[in-house]
Amino acid sequence: MEYRIGLGHDTHRLVEGRPLILGGVSIPHLRGLVGHSDADALLHALTDALLGAAGLGDIGEAFPDDDRRWQGADSRIFLDATLQRLQALRWKVVNIDAIIFAQEPKLGAWKAVIRRNLARLLALPEDNINVKAKTGEGVGHIGRGEALAAQVVVLLQR
Amino acid sequence: MEYRIGLGHDTHRLVEGRPLILGGVSIPHLRGLVGHSDADALLHALTDALLGAAGLGDIGEAFPDDDRRWQGADSRIFLDATLQRLQALRWKVVNIDAIIFAQEPKLGAWKAVIRRNLARLLALPEDNINVKAKTGEGVGHIGRGEALAAQVVVLLQR
Amino acid sequence: MEYRIGLGHDTHRLVEGRPLILGGVSIPHLRGLVGHSDADALLHALTDALLGAAGLGDIGEAFPDDDRRWQGADSRIFLDATLQRLQALRWKVVNIDAIIFAQEPKLGAWKAVIRRNLARLLALPEDNINVKAKTGEGVGHIGRGEALAAQVVVLLQR
Ligand SMILES: [Mg+2]
Ligand SMILES: [Mg+2]
Ligand SMILES: [Mg+2]
């Protein structure tokens, strides 16, 4: 058995008039994430962690944000395409641990929904997926509500 | 053998008139960490990494910060309870690598003390625990001394 | 087979009149990184991740920044010395996944060069090394261009 680890991080600015989509789940909130695609910071960090573990570069290379194909794109497309590349290389996801950093909204009730959705998108048992949430403790760009971030580690095996 | 990885992160604001406790060790300093419990950012990040690796959610779910039971609580309680949950699932900690981000105080002399204490709390050899420290390089909320943060990765096996 | 994981993080301030060296590669830019050594944030984060995984402390302990030997030092010295310590303990690097956080310069074209250089320095196939880049999305000390950071995870086996 071979193993690989990967780390993904993504930050997006929060503004009024944009949807807030995290892990493929739409979360009702006055503000949402700015980006070329749907700006799903959690799926972007996860995609980057998967690409990184498999030695496949990063999301910016795979899905350039100046490519009109990805304007307003559903980030599940990025995850799906990445999972196909991993499958072609016979990599399987062992587990995923994610942190969402957001001063607002409160994500307590949403973590389980996001986790279930990730499990579905990755065709993995929920036990192998974990979603945590942290506020910014009122400091820095997360704490001031200027942005939201996600950080993800993954373990692969084949 | 099965493996799992986990990632924990915690930030707490630094203010005068609070104790500074890191990894269960009291560190003499003019300022300390704000929080509902003893605000031990390192034990919180470690607990979150362990919960995350085992697919058990996060510290906010397990030990809500609006629960009066945890007001002023010794964070070793959170770690102990988490280790018991892991043991029930037959997970063993392989190794822990931690980073403490603090502009002040200088933690150079404290890293070894904290490491030894974590090894004791986790009943692991010191070789399997590592504690690093970084300043904030004078930038951001860490660099301005507004807050202190900790980040931890863990590897589990069973 | 035994496994260990490690996490490294490094931040350096960006100023005019300093070279920008990342992963041992000189990158032409108006500004560069402040530090006692050559301030190669990526090699520092990588060295810290390797030391952390092997339970060998951190780069500040191994190569103190008040030691005149390391003034202006080429950070490849730190990496080489660390790899020798790992080899003596029979640890082999399985894979490395790195993120460089920089608002500027654009690192798109440099990621492959840095990756190839890291593979050479570590005597590993490029497949086992991954280098990602992220901007700071215009927020925080990275987004304002005050600093550049790197974060690295490593997996070791023996
Ligand atoms: Mg993104
Ligand atoms: Mg906390
Ligand atoms: Mg450094």
Label residue B85 by pLDDT band (50, 70, 90).
Answer: very high
pLDDT given at position C5: 98
The string over B54-70, giving b where at least 16 C-beta atoms fall within 10 Å of a residue's C-beta and e elsewhere, is: bbbbbbbebbeeeeeeb
Integer Rg of chain B from CA: 15
Please give, rounded to a whole number of angstroms, the shortest distance from the CA of A58 to a CA of chain C.
5
Helix (H, G, I), strand (E, B) or coil at B35: coil
Of C9, C12, C58, the CB nearest to B151: C9
Tokens representing B86 are 């892991």
- The predicted pLDDT at position B65 comes to 86
* C151·A7 Cβ contact <8 A: yes
Render pLDDT for B94-132 as a digit per residue (tens, 0 to 9): 999 999 999 999 999 999 999 999 999 999 999 999 999
Residue partners of A85: CB distance under 8 A and separation at least 6: A51, A54, A56
Residue B124 confidence (pLDDT): 98
Interface residue ranges in chain A relative to chain B, Cβ cutoff 8 Å: 3, 5, 94-95, 97-99, 101, 108, 111, 126-134, 136-140, 143, 151-155, 157
pLDDT at residue number B30: 95
Is residue B15 over pLDDT 90?
A: yes
Residue with the bigger pLDDT between B49 and A67: it is B49
Q: Which residues contact C87 (CB under 8 A, 6 or more apart)?
A: none
| pLDDT for B28 beyond 90 | yes
Residue B79 carries which side chain, given as an amino acid letter? L
pLDDT over threshold 90, residue B27:
yes
User: Taking CB atoms and an 8 Å limit, are B61 and A136 in contact across chains?
Assistant: no
Greater pLDDT, A1 or C65:
A1
Neighbouring residues of B101: CB distance < 8 A, sequence distance ≥ 6: B133, B134, B135, B136, B142, B148, B149, B150, B151, C9
Instruction: Provide the ipTM.
Output: 0.97
Q: Minimum mean pLDDT among A52-56, A86-90, B66-70, B73-77: which range? A: B66-70
Average pLDDT, chain A: 97
Q: Beta strand pairing status for B147-157 and B3-16?
A: antiparallel
Q: Return the residue matching tokens 């790899």.
A: C83
Residue A65 in this model has a pLDDT that exceeds 90: no
Query: How many B-C residue pairs are in contact by the CB < 8 A criterion?
Result: 85
Which ligand is closest to the CA of B75, given by its number?
2
Which residues in chain B are contacts of C12 at CB distance < 8 A? 137
Q: Looking at the CA of C137, name the nearest ligand.
A: 1
Rounded to a whole number of angstroms, the distance from the CA of B152 to the nearest CA of chain A is 11
Contact between residue C36 and residue C65 where contact means Cβ atoms under 8 Å apart: yes
pLDDT digits (tens), chain C, 158 positions: 999 999 999 999 999 999 999 999 999 999 999 999 999 999 999 999 999 999 999 999 999 988 899 999 999 999 999 999 999 999 999 999 999 999 999 999 999 999 999 999 999 999 999 999 999 999 999 999 999 999 999 999 99
Token pair listed for B88? 């029930």
Identify the H or E element spanning A46: helix A41-53
Beta-ladder partners of B97: B130, B153
Task: Name, in order, each residue with C-beta under 8 angstroms of A109's C-beta and a sequence gap of 6 or more.
Answer: none
